[in-house]
Amino acid sequence: MIAEYEGKTYECSFYKGKIILISDKYEDGFSEDFDGYSKTVDRSECERVYKSTPMVRYEGKSYYYYEETEEQIQLFVGASDLSLEWEPNGFKHTGYEEWTKWVPKSECEKFDEIIEY
């Protein structure tokens, strides 16, 4: 997740109703922790808190994607997407509750799905 706080952008997480800002360098008010520095703030102190997920639009539908080459991109659907219906549409069962399909990159449009918190 991402938080905008005092004009800066940080990776963040939720903990007990608070936002934990994460930084790889020391900043005023941040404390050292395992992987860098963190600061706990109220949600109301953040200008924005959101999650950004890279997605691709193909044939009018939105998909997650795994990999890409110069010419192709690998679409992904999982169990929460009622994946059993995808096999007749060219998706192959590639793992536990996952189906993938390689498609031409030229037929796709990348975008970021934004969920605000």
Confidence band, pLDDT 50/70/90 cuts, at residue 117: very high
Going from N- to C-terminal start, the domains of the chain cover 2-46, 53-116
User: Two tokens at 90?
Assistant: 């060219």
| Cβ partners under 8 Å of residue 8, min gap 6 | none
Q: What is the mean pLDDT of the chain?
A: 91
For residue 45, give the nearest of 27, 16, 21, 15 by alpha carbon.
21
| Calpha distance 107→75 (Å, rounded) | 12
* The pLDDT value given to residue 88: 62
At 15 the three-state DSSP class reads strand
* The pLDDT value given to residue 92: 87
Q: What are phi and psi of 90, to 5 degrees?
A: 90, 0
pLDDT tens sequence across 60-115: 999 999 899 999 999 998 766 555 566 667 888 888 888 899 999 999 999 999 99
